[in-house]
């Protein structure tokens, strides 16, 4: 299943980011805990340059804790500064501010020695729907930016000021012009980084079922009380019956079942699931 989606507003967003980054000291790079590797956009590399980056593995409450910790450790071994949090948990916000100050420690110290009370400026970047705006709202201790559970909610540059004189600029979630792999495209579609309207939901659900068969074999049977089967289409049909998605005449509505299954995955009704593990290539 090949997924490509790069609407015009993302091209505009990238141009805005190229301008805004000239005014920032560092970046907060937000990744979804369910697909940390797929959420890394290769096109951000040139944008970042030599600026310090804090990688925030967000939405940790949606993925198995041990698997998230394994990703954080892998990234640290690769020289990345990493923090794993859930931005909806208030106590995690101060950790981000502390880590942001830490990666800018040299610049802060140089300005202190000059007697300059310098206000740090940082840019928040990431794929769509990774929780960037929610994170900023947590850091602001209140709702200051527009958030949503779908990609494309943040439309343009938004600056907010935090305690300690730190200023953050939120940016629209931006995908790559071409996905790193078919698997990365699927993973991003699973977590909602790709707009549902441009994806064949039924085909996506079948791909999710195949993944669950292999990696979380009891997830579907526990959620829907299904008999285990190795056939994705038959399983989706059984889910339709269990959920009452049956058309007049007894035909199952696979489209409705597909949408319900993907929603169940995104809202952890199938349990905490991670789509890629740190020990994989």
Q: Given 122, 148, 170, which residue is the final one in a domain?
A: 170
pLDDT digit string (tens) for the chain, length 281 residues: 655 555 555 667 677 788 888 889 999 999 999 999 999 988 888 888 889 999 999 999 999 999 999 999 999 999 999 999 998 777 888 899 899 999 998 888 888 888 877 788 999 999 989 998 889 888 887 645 444 444 444 445 678 888 777 888 888 777 776 667 889 999 999 999 988 888 999 999 999 999 999 999 999 999 999 987 789 999 999 999 999 999 988 999 999 999 999 999 999 999 999 999 999 86
- Please name every residue paired with 122 in a beta bridge, in sequence order, or none if there are none: 26, 168
Beta strands 167-170 and 81-84 are: unpaired
Question: What is the three-class DSSP state of 270?
Answer: coil
- The total domain count for the chain is 2
CA 192, CA 208: separation in Å to the nearest integer? 13
On whether both 153 and 96 belong to a single domain, the answer is yes
Residue 23's domain comprises 8-170
HEC letters along 153-213: CCCCCEEEECHHHCEEEECCCCCCCCCCCHHHHHHHHHCCCCCHHHCCHHHHHHHHHHHHH
Tokens representing 85 are 């949090």
Please give the model's pTM, rounded to 2 decimal places.
Answer: 0.88
Residue 245, classified by CB atoms within 10 Å of its CB into exposed (0-12), middle (13-18) or buried (19+), is buried
On whether both 109 and 245 belong to a single domain, the answer is no
On whether both 250 and 156 belong to a single domain, the answer is no
Helix, strand, coil share of the chain (percent; to 5): 45, 10, 40
CATH code of the domain covering residue 47: 3.40.50.300
């Amino acid at each position: 299943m090949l997924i490509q989606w790069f609407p015009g507003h993302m091209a505009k967003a990238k141009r805005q980011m190229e301008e805004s980054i000239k005014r920032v000291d560092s970046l907060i790079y937000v990744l979804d805990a369910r697909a940390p590797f797929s959420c890394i956009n290769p096109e951000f590399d040139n944008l970042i340059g030599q600026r310090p980056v804090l990688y925030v593995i967000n939405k940790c409450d949606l993925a198995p804790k041990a698997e998230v910790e394994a990703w954080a450790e892998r990234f640290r071994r690769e020289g990345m500064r990493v923090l794993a949090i859930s931005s909806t948990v208030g106590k995690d916000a101060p950790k981000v501010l502390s880590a942001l100050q830490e990666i800018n420690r040299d610049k802060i110290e140089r300005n202190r020695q000059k007697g300059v009370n310098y206000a740090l400026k940082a840019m928040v970047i990431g794929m769509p729907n990774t929780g960037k705006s929610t994170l900023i709202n947590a850091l602001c201790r209140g709702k200051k930016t527009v958030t949503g559970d779908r990609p494309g909610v943040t439309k343009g540059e938004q600056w907010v000021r935090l305690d300690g004189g730190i200023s953050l600029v939120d940016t629209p979630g931006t995908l790559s012009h071409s996905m790193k792999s078919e698997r990365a495209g699927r993973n991003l579609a699973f977590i909602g980084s790709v707009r549902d309207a441009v994806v064949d939901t039924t085909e996506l659900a079948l791909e999710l079922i195949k993944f669950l068969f292999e990696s979380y074999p009891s997830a579907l049977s526990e959620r829907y009380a299904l008999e285990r089967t190795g056939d994705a289409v038959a399983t989706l049909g059984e889910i339709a019956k269990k959920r009452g998605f049956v058309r007049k005449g007894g035909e199952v509505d696979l489209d409705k079942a597909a949408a319900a299954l993907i929603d169940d995955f995104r809202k952890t009704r199938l349990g905490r699931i991670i789509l890629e593990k740190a020990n994989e290539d």
